[in-house]
C-alpha cells in the first residue's frame, strides 16, 4: 500500500495514535488519494505507519460509521463510493445548523471573532491555488470557528462525522468551482455578521452551502464511477430556492 509523502499525513508519537490514523485515512479518502473501490489492509497500514493493528482496526470502525469504508469480514476493507443521497443529507443538515449559527453571531457581533475571521479570509485568499487540500483545511477552520464562537462547538463535531461524503464532492468540485468564489462567499458571511444583519447572515450561509454543490450533476457525470446513485440513475439538480432568511 502506497503512503504518499505528505507532512500532514505523518504521525506524531506524542499524540494518541487512533485519532491520527482516523484523520489521515479520512483525508486520503476525501482527497481521492484512496479511491472508491480501493482495498486497504490492517496489516499493510500497520506496517506502513509502524503501529500495531489495533489503532488501524479502530480507525476502520470510525470510518465505516462515516460511510467512507465498508469492512467485509474475511474479504478486506473497501473504500466506498460517494453516496449521492448522503451528500444531499449532509448539505441539508449543514445548512440548517450553520444558518442558525450565523444568526446567533449576527445578533451580537464580537469584534474579536470578526478580526479572527478576517485574518482567516486573508490566509484563504493568499493560498497557492494548486493546493486545494490546504484550502479545504482552512475552510474547515473557518466553519469550525463560526460554530465555536456561537457556543456550538459540540454541534460542529456532530456535523463533522456526517459530512464526509459532502467533503469528498467538495474536493472534486474545487477544480470546477474556483477557490476565489468560495473565499468571496466566506467574506459575505463575515460582512453580514459584522453588520449585525441576522437575516442577511442566514441567507449568506444558505447561499454558500447550496452554491458549493450547484454543479453536482456535472461532477457526477465527470466522475460517474466514483458515485453511488439512486437506482443507478443520473440525479436531478439539487438546488432549491433559498428559504428561512428571517
Quote the percentage of the chain above a pLDDT of 70: 89
Residue 173 confidence (pLDDT)? 76
Residue 74 confidence (pLDDT)? 73
Mean pLDDT, rounded, of the chain = 87
Whole-angstrom distance, CA of residue 10 vs CA of residue 3: 10
H/E segment holding residue 144: helix 132-149
Q: What is the mean pLDDT of residues 198-210?
A: 95
* CATH number for the domain formed by residue range(s) 83-232: 1.20.120.530
What are 121-173's pLDDT values in tens digits?
A: 999 999 887 777 788 889 999 999 999 999 999 988 888 777 888 889 888 87
Of the candidates 221, 220, 212, 161, the one whose C-alpha atom is nearest the C-alpha of residue 184 is 212
Helices (H), the chain: 17-30, 42-49, 53-65, 84-107, 111-125, 132-149, 153-162, 164-173, 179-195, 198-211, 216-222
C-alpha cell at 192: 453580514
Higher-confidence residue: 211 or 189? 189
Contact in structure between 55 and 90 (CB atoms under 8 Å): no
Of the candidates 150, 158, 172, 139, the one whose C-alpha atom is nearest the C-alpha of residue 30 is 172
Whole-angstrom distance, CA of residue 214 vs CA of residue 103: 23
The domain locations on the chain are 7-80, 83-232
Chain mean position to CA 117: 18
- DSSP-derived 3-state class of residue 34: coil
Pairing outcome for strands 76-79 and 69-72: antiparallel
What does each C-alpha distance from 46 to 27, 38, 39, 41, 55 come to in angstroms?
17, 17, 14, 8, 8
Residue 133 confidence (pLDDT)? 76
Quote the percentage of the chain above a pLDDT of 90: 51
- CATH class belonging to 7-80: mainly alpha
Residue 244 confidence (pLDDT)? 46
Q: Torsions phi, psi of 15, nearest 5?
A: -115, 145
Asked if residue 177 has pLDDT above 80, the reply is no
Pairing outcome for strands 82-83 and 227-228: parallel
Contact in structure between 167 and 136 (CB atoms under 8 Å): yes
What are 20-44's pLDDT values in tens digits?
A: 999 999 989 998 889 999 999 999 9
What are 41-88's pLDDT values in tens digits?
A: 999 999 989 999 999 999 999 999 989 999 987 778 999 999 888 888
Residue 85 confidence (pLDDT)? 87
The pTM is what? 0.81
Amino acid at each position: 500500500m502506497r503512503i504518499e509523502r505528505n507532512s500532514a499525513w505523518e504521525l506524531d508519537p506524542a499524540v494518541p495514535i487512533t485519532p491520527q490514523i482516523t484523520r489521515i485515512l479520512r483525508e486520503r479518502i476525501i482527497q481521492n488519494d484512496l479511491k472508491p473501490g480501493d482495498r486497504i489492509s490492517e496489516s499493510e497500514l500497520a506496517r506502513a505507519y509502524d503501529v500495531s493493528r489495533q489503532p488501524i482496526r479502530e480507525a476502520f470502525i470510525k470510518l465505516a460509521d462515516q460511510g467512507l469504508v465498508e469492512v467485509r469480514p474475511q474479504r478486506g476493507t473497501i473504500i466506498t463510493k460517494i453516496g449521492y443521497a448522503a451528500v444531499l443529507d449532509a448539505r441539508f443538515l449543514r445548512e440548517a445548523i450553520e444558518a442558525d449559527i450565523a444568526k446567533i453571531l449576527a445578533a451580537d457581533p464580537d469584534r474579536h471573532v470578526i478580526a479572527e475571521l478576517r485574518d482567516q479570509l486573508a490566509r484563504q485568499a493568499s493560498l497557492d491555488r494548486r493546493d486545494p487540500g490546504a484550502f479545504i483545511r482552512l475552510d474547515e477552520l473557518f466553519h469550525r470557528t463560526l460554530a465555536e464562537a456561537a457556543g456550538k462547538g459540540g454541534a460542529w463535531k456532530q456535523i463533522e462525522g456526517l459530512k464526509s461524503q459532502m467533503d469528498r464532492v467538495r474536493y472534486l468540485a474545487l477544480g470546477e468551482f474556483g477557490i476565489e468564489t468560495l473565499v468571496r462567499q466566506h467574506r459575505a458571511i463575515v460582512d453580514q455578521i459584522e453588520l449585525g444583519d441576522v437575516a442577511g447572515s442566514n441567507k449568506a450561509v444558505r447561499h454558500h452551502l447550496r452554491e458549493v454543490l450547484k454543479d453536482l450533476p456535472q461532477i457526477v457525470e465527470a466522475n460517474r464511477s466514483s458515485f453511488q446513485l439512486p437506482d443507478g440513475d443520473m440525479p436531478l439538480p439539487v438546488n432549491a430556492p433559498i428559504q428561512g432568511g428571517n
